[in-house]
Structure 1
Amino acid sequence: MPHLTAASLMCLADDRALDDAPLLRLAAGGFRDMTRIAAGQPEIWLDICNENRDAIVSVLDEFADRIDQIRSIVANSDRSGLVELLSQARRARTNLPSRYVRPQDLIEVRIPIPDRKGQIASITMLAADCDVNVADIEVAHSTEGAQGVLVLVVARAEVQRFLAILAGQGYRPTTRELA
């Protein structure tokens, strides 16, 4: 199901890009993350979809219903419905199993960085040098200016050490709770 969803979204973007060629070049990190698996080999999915046809069709029906619900929420400017939906999704995503069983054991570290080569490598090397494991990474690109935000998720027990190292190198990180 995730592969089919990513493929559908990527095809939609590709169709839209026919009218607006730069569209795909400007795709943000979230879009790229969500559609990453669409780059897989199509042949692999032929047998998977055939062998699991009934289950996949059932989930696709549920997904279509969910998309209709989201469409209705947006079309009706139902802010509370949208907040409820997005909050449920956030809770569910945060609670996906990982090597860190409890989201409260993690902290999001947000580091403004200039958009130039080597910035991500420098910061991740700082993390490695001070023995801080990066559990997750995201780059939020700015559409204006030559700056972005590097978002790293690290263990709560390691965050103060990492923040001190970053500050010592001239970065201005902020933190945010995950849970």
Structure 2
Amino acid sequence: MAGFLFAMLAVLAAGLGARDQVLVARMAPRGAVLVIALVCTLLTSLGAGLAGQAVAPLLNGPARAMLVAMALGLAALELLVIRPKRKPDEPTQSLGAFGLVLLAQQLTDAARLMIFAIAAANPLPLAVIAGGVLGSAASVLAGWLGGADWEKLPLTAIRRSLGLLLALVAVWLAYNR
């Protein structure tokens, strides 16, 4: 249960103002946009969790802790450096293009790295995967519901603060394994 809650909250925090969330907020508020976003989120979150589950038995305790620290460090770097691109002048409303771009963005974003790291470190990776999927879905849903008003929030400052915190956790894990 702790892995479920930790994954859900960590992914919600990492997804705040993320590229996928902003992309969903910028699209016209159509039901198809939400469905495609949730399917992409389910696929990428499930893939990240299963990858973490597959890697975990291959590593002993200190190596697993170092892998988790590296994944969290990469997630922190993504939170600190990568920001959503500026809003295009004439955005496409193609659902196919939207789905491909969203899938590509989610494959390497901080939220999926968090799911991977927590699933690799937790003895109950299926609970972590469920929490990660739920947190990711809630993040995308928040962007969809927020729409154009979503970008008025101070998301960059929040993401950088979370990135610094996550970097500290990664360094602590790396040196206390």
Smaller-chain TM-score range?
A: under 0.3
RCO greater where, 1 or 2, for CA within 8 Å and sep 6 or more? 2
Q: TM-score if structure 2 supplies the norm length?
A: 0.26
> Radius of gyration: which is bigger?
1
Q: Which has the higher helix share?
A: 2
Q: Which has the higher strand share?
A: 1
Q: TM-score if structure 1 supplies the norm length?
A: 0.26
